[in-house]
């Protein structure tokens, strides 16, 4: 089977040329005749064998110590290692979220393939969809907890509540109290709080309890909001899109302002100035402006295109310098030629001028013939 031919790629700058296709239909017409690979139908999969009953998990070995047991029994206070362990657990949860997302995508793909199969697979499809929905719910719950906007909102509230006791609590105890206040309610938390506040005065203990109650309410609201994790993720995505659109509009406005300055202002570039009655030139000006806008807005189809645009942009000052040098040299040559012509008004015949001018040299005749 011959290799499938790929349509020729249009260079970045040429996409903005006047002869470019006006719409998608015209582009397809230009590329007609290219081969496309035949789509192979996926054969229906046989019904899978009934799942085996899961084997009972082995019971944990006797004598395995619980890292939190001593803290729960009030034998010691949490240490940095305990907080690190909690942080590691959060990291593992994030990895688990990625795994669940991958399984969700795989379930979606398998469901789509099974929908192409005969109707007798309807029960299997329903089962897979149920598993997909369960995985999706788990992934959304974990992803919502680590969503930057959601996390920042509640972190700021907790930080503000704890900051209210900063001036009352001893500095060497503030970090420990901050961590304990954010722990779930229970005997363990109460014991640790009692140990950390046993030598403090009553007003300070009251302030700590008020802060603890406020943080508890904040975390309760956070847990309740997480029950609708899908809405959290949707709202976050909408907010990110809104910010991107606003940033893109601001960039476009800035580009238009600079383009106007460089095409009509006092320091305008001649290459961007339109000319009355010169349609071809004005079309080129519009195309150059379109290329500049695409470069500024990062509208590239590949890294190679972006690299090419960057190289051309960096080369422009060199081209302008060469152009100015050529224009200066051209003006000097014209001035020299004008002086020669005025000194010998009868140039052209090779002999004396009509008014008795001197005979032209070889160099003078060559310059005259080149005009």
DSSP 96-128: HHHHHHHHHHHHHHHHHHHHTS-GGGHHHHHHH
Which domain covers residue 167, as residue numbers?
149-227
Number of domains in the chain: 3
Tally of CB atoms within 10 A around 104: 20
Pair (98, 169) in one structural domain: no
In a domain, 110, yes or no: yes
Angle at 214 between CA 210 and CA 215, to 5 degrees: 120
Q: What is the pLDDT of residue 25?
A: 65
Q: What is the pLDDT of residue 360?
A: 62
Pair (305, 242) in one structural domain: yes
Q: Look at residues 146, 174, 200 and tell me which one is the last residue of a structural domain.
A: 146
Pair (77, 154) in one structural domain: no
Q: Look at residues 296, 321, 346 and tell me which one is the last residue of a structural domain.
A: 321
In a domain, 29, yes or no: no
In a domain, 126, yes or no: yes
Q: Helix, strand or coil for residue 349? A: coil
Pair (255, 316) in one structural domain: yes
In a domain, 331, yes or no: no
pTM of the entire structure? 0.40
The residue among 218, 163, 168 whose CA lies nearest residue 196 is 168
Q: What is the pLDDT of residue 116?
A: 76
φ, ψ for residue 46 (rounded to 5)? -70, 155
In a domain, 59, yes or no: no
In a domain, 121, yes or no: yes
Q: How far is CA 204 from CA 198, 200, 210, 219, in A?
A: 11, 6, 10, 23
Pair (136, 163) in one structural domain: no
Pair (202, 178) in one structural domain: yes
In a domain, 77, yes or no: yes
Buried b (16+ CB within 10 A) or exposed e, 206-233: ebbeebbebbbebbeebeeebeebeebb
Q: What is the pLDDT of residue 224?
A: 84
Q: What is the pLDDT of residue 33?
A: 47
Per-position pLDDT tens, the chain of length 371: 444 445 556 666 566 655 555 556 665 655 554 444 444 444 445 555 544 444 434 444 445 566 777 777 777 777 788 778 878 888 888 888 889 999 999 999 888 887 776 656 777 888 888 888 888 888 887 877 778 788 788 888 899 999 988 888 888 889 999 999 988 888 998 899 898 888 888 998 899 999 999 999 998 888 888 878 877 778 878 888 888 889 999 999 999 999 888 888 788 888 888 999 999 999 999 988 888 888 888 888 888 888 988 898 888 889 888 988 998 999 999 988 888 888 765 544 444 444 445 666 655 655 555 45
46: which 2 tokens? 């046989």
Q: Look at residues 146, 173, 202 and tell me which one is the last residue of a structural domain.
A: 146
Q: Whole-angstrom Cα distance, residue 82 to residue 143?
A: 24
Pair (240, 315) in one structural domain: yes
Pair (216, 251) in one structural domain: no
Q: What is the pLDDT of residue 232?
A: 79
Q: What is the pLDDT of residue 369?
A: 55
Pair (118, 171) in one structural domain: no
Q: What is the pLDDT of residue 38?
A: 42
Pair (110, 154) in one structural domain: no
In a domain, 50, yes or no: no
Pair (242, 317) in one structural domain: yes
Contact by Cβ (8 Å): 264, 273: yes
The backbone region for 298, taken as left when phi is positive above 0, alpha when psi lies in -120 to 50, beta otherwise, is: left
118 CB burial (10 A radius; 0-12, 13-18, 19+): exposed
Q: How far is CA 46 from CA 52, 99, 116, 190, 281, in A?
A: 17, 27, 13, 58, 67
Q: What is the pLDDT of residue 362?
A: 55
Pair (223, 177) in one structural domain: yes
């Amino acid at each position: 089977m011959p290799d499938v031919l790929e349509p020729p790629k249009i260079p970045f700058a040429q996409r903005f040329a006047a002869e470019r296709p006006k719409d998608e239909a015209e582009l397809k017409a230009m590329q007609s005749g290219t081969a496309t690979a035949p789509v192979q139908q996926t054969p229906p999969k046989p019904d899978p064998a009934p799942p085996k009953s899961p084997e009972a998990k082995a019971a944990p070995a006797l004598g395995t110590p619980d890292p939190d047991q001593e803290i729960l029994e009030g034998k010691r206070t949490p240490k940095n290692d305990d907080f690190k362990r909690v942080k590691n657990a959060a990291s593992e949860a994030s990895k688990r979220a990625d795994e669940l997302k991958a399984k969700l995508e795989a379930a979606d793909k398998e469901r789509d393939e099974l929908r192409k199969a005969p109707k007798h697979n309807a029960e299997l499809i329903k089962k897979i969809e149920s598993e997909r929905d369960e995985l999706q719910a788990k992934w959304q719950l974990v992803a919502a907890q680590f969503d930057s906007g959601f996390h920042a909102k509640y972190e700021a509230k907790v930080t503000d509540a704890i900051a209210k006791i900063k001036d009352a609590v001893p500095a060497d105890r503030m970090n420990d109290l901050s961590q304990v206040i954010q722990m779930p309610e229970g005997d363990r938390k109460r014991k640790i709080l009692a140990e950390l506040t046993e030598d403090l005065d009553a007003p300070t203990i009251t302030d700590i309890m008020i802060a603890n109650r406020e943080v508890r309410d904040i975390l309760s609201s956070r847990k309740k909001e997480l029950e609708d994790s899908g809405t959290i993720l949707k709202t976050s995505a909408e907010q990110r899109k809104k910010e991107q659109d606003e940033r893109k509009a601001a960039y476009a406005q800035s580009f238009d302002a600079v383009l106007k300055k460089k095409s009509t202002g006092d320091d305008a570039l001649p290459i961007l100035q339109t000319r009355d009655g010169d349609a071809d030139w004005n079309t080129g000006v519009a195309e150059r402006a379109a290329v500049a806008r695409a470069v500024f807005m990062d509208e590239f189809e590949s890294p190679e295109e972006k690299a090419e645009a960057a190289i051309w942009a960096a080369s422009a000052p060199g081209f302008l310098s060469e152009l100015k040098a050529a224009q200066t040299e051209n003006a000097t040559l014209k001035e020299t030629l004008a002086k020669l012509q005025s000194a010998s008004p009868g140039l052209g015949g090779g002999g004396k001028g009509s008014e008795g001018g001197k005979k032209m040299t070889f160099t003078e005749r060559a310059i005259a013939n080149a005009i």
